[in-house]
């Protein structure tokens, strides 16, 4: 080919969303140190995004390089300290890089699910505002605020689906702590940064923040698990798989992946890209040993 080295051709439509790995717990610590649940991978891939693994314990420089290679990040659910854990440290790096990038016109979306949303509130407020709630393994309705009408997340949702979300318990909740509505409204940093889209109430009637999005940044959070309606199959878990639940799950996945498509970052080489993608790792089926049933493990 005229003796010239061919450059790697990057396809602009090839978007990769990162998922931040987290520590294994209980007996799984003997298998590997960290993991990514397959349900989050399937969730993103179902809407047309590829998935890149973001491992823990890398340097700030390495994370910055990853940031400028991927097109968005999903912070998954789990159970870590929101201020001192390695997970929170790494999430904070990406949060601050995203703030700076967006301020400079470089659109970088973040999605937080369950613990991921809690971590977004802690990063914004500068403190852990969680309160114990009786919300473990329960399907709940969403009580939409007036802000829902102007939200990015739900502006294209059909009216009938919004009514169903308000009337039927379709959102899977698996958390023991929440940011209550009172805590949200009383914190100036939170209420000025995030639009409160919906609340839900636990078994004791405590109202907590269930859906939010930033006013000026493409940052989104759900205390509930939208991926659960399609990809969480442990029988003891309250993850509604009805037609409405499945539809809601897909629409939110499509929304976020469309946000990811707005970012123009890319890997420098094809080799770097392929080594980062989760495709190079094999999922491990654990059955009921894990709530997720299938995990990707990383040392």
Catalytic site residues? 114, 225
Angstrom distance (rounded) from CA 43 to CA 136: 22
In what helix (H) or strand (E) does residue 20 lie, and over which residues does it extend? strand 16-20
Kindly report the number of other CB atoms within 10 A of residue 272's CB atom: 14
| Pairing of the two strands 73-75 and 110-113 | parallel
Question: Do 79 and 115 form a contact (C-beta atoms < 8 A)?
Answer: yes
Enter the DSSP assignment of 141.
-
Question: Do 221 and 117 form a contact (C-beta atoms < 8 A)?
Answer: yes
Write down the H helix ranges in the chain: 38-45, 60-67, 86-103, 115-125, 159-167, 181-186, 188-193, 228-231, 243-260, 270-276
Using CA atoms, how far residue 46 sits from 41, 107, 253, in Å, is: 8, 22, 8
């Amino acid at each position: 080919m005229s003796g010239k080295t061919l450059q790697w051709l990057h396809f602009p439509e090839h978007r990769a969303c990162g998922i931040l790995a987290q520590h294994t717990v209980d007996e799984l610590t003997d298998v590997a140190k960290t993991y990514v649940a397959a349900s989050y991978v399937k969730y993103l891939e179902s809407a047309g995004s590829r998935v890149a693994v973001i491992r823990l314990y890398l340097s700030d420089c390495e994370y910055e390089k990853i940031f400028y290679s991927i097109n968005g990040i999903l912070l998954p659910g789990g159970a870590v300290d929101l201020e001192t854990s390695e997970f929170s440290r790494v999430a904070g790096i990406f949060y601050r890089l995203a703030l700076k990038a967006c301020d400079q016109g470089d659109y970088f979306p973040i999605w937080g699910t369950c613990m991921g949303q809690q971590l977004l509130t802690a990063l914004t407020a500068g403190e852990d505002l969680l309160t114990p709630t009786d919300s473990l393994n329960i399907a709940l309705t969403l009580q939409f605020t007036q802000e829902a009408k102007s939200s990015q997340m739900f502006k294209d949702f059909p009216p009938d689906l919004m009514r169903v979300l308000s009337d039927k318990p379709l959102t899977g909740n698996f958390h023991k702590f929440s940011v209550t509505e009172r805590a949200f409204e009383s914190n100036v940093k939170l209420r000025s940064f995030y639009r409160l889209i919906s609340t839900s109430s636990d078994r004791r009637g405590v109202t907590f923040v269930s859906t939010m999005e930033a006013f000026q940044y493409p940052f989104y959070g759900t205390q509930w698990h939208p991926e659960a309606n399609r990809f969480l199959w442990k029988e003891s878990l309250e993850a509604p798989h009805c037609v409405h639940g499945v539809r809601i799950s897909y629409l939110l996945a499509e929304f976020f992946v469309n946000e990811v498509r707005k970012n123009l970052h890319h890997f420098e080489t094809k080799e770097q890209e392929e080594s980062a993608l989760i495709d190079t790792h094999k999922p491990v089926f654990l059955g009921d040993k894990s709530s997720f049933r299938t995990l990707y493990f990383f040392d």
